[in-house]
């Protein structure tokens, strides 16, 4: 076969191939559009179409089991902590709050609530933590917090049966902001019931009198102004999970 002949054959084939390629392209495009529409017709679970939620849950289980439970978040010297700590999110922090009547409510089981005052919490061994606080909105700050390790608190108040369960649920006094935390993260040595920021009492807008600081998680889980803590083997409701975010939000 000489050179000229080869070119002629190729041009004919080329046109056919172009038509086939284009047809295949259109068919695949139509299939993709169809699949996309079908996906969005699916029932939603926590604001996400069910098939996508299934994959997200599988990913969450994988990472929560294998990665984030035992590692320590990097800590920093106190001198690196910022003085102007950002205030972000005020759901559940409304002015209807009366600090003088506040007690932490630990719901040991339905109908059996333990009440603990701020002074009693302050009497427990204190832990300070300086770490890089990360918000899913894309900012982070090295900040300094003080309080009692939740694991120390649980030991002191004999919450053994409770901490055998899979989750803790924390809710603001007015019930408007709430988080669910897997127990390994709750019992993590850096997780504190926090009543100090930069060595001073927690400011009102930062969660006075008591907030959660949980360095192995994104900011959304650091609930400000704890009203109640409860325990369960099912996932407690979670404010940002209900808006479609990752349930564990681990780092
Ligand atoms: N009660 C309550 N706690 C909350 C929030 C909120 O809106 N309400 N926002 C969360 C989010 S998204 C972040 S990033 C941190 C911010 O904590 P800060 O205001 O002390 O910086 O608080 C978390 N805890
Ligand atoms: Mo956040």
> How much is the average pLDDT of 93-104?
93
Ligand 1 mutation target, pool 219, 243, 245, 249, most atoms within 8 A of CB: 219
CATH architecture of 45-243: Alpha-Beta Complex (3.90)
Q: How far apart are CA 201 and CA 186, in angstroms?
A: 22
Give Cβ neighbours of residue 12 (< 8 Å, ≥ 6 apart). none
The two three-digit tokens of residue 130, written as one number: 């300086």
Residue 33 has pLDDT above 70, yes or no: yes
> What share of the chain in percent tops pLDDT 90?
71
pLDDT at residue 251 above 70?
yes
Ligand closest in space to the Cα of 239: 1
Residue 45 has pLDDT above 90, yes or no: no
For ligand 1, residues with CB inside 6 Å are: 86-93, 135, 172, 177, 206, 219-220, 222-225
Whether the pLDDT of residue 2 is over 70: the answer is no
Residue nearest to atom 24 of ligand 1 (CA): 223
Considering the chain, what is the average pLDDT of its residues? 92
pLDDT at 58 (0 to 100): 81
Tell me the pTM. Answer: 0.84
For 22, 72, 111, 133, 196, the CA distances from 87, given in Å and listed in that order, are 54, 25, 35, 12, 15
Q: How far is the CA of 208 from the centre of ligand 2 (A)?
A: 18
């Amino acid at each position: 076969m000489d050179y000229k002949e080869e070119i002629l054959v190729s041009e004919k084939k080329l046109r056919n191939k172009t038509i086939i390629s284009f047809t295949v392209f259109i068919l695949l495009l139509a299939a993709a559009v169809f699949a996309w529409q079908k996906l969005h017709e699916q029932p939603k679970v926590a604001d996400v179409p069910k098939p996508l939620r299934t994959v997200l849950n599988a990913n969450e289980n994988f990472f929560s089991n294998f990665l984030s439970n035992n590692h320590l978040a990097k800590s920093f010297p106190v001198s690196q902590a910022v003085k102007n700590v950002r205030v972000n999110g005020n759901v559940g922090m409304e002015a209807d709050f009366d600090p003088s009547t506040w007690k932490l409510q630990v719901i040991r089981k339905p109908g059996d609530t333990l009440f603990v005052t701020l002074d009693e919490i302050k009497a427990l061994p204190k832990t300070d933590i300086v770490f890089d606080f990360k918000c899913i909105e894309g900012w982070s700050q090295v900040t300094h917090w003080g309080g009692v390790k939740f694991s120390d608190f649980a030991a002191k108040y004999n919450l053994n049966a409770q901490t055998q369960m899979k989750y803790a649920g924390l809710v603001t006094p007015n019930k408007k902001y709430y988080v669910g935390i897997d127990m390994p993260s709750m019992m993590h040595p850096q997780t504190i019931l926090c009543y100090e920021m930069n060595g001073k009492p927690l400011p009102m807008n930062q969660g006075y009198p008591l907030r959660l600081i949980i360095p192995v998680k994104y900011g959304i889980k650091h609930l400000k102004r704890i009203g109640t803590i409860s325990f369960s083997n099912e996932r407690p409701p979670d404010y940002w999970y209900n808006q479609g975010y990752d349930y564990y939000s681990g780092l």
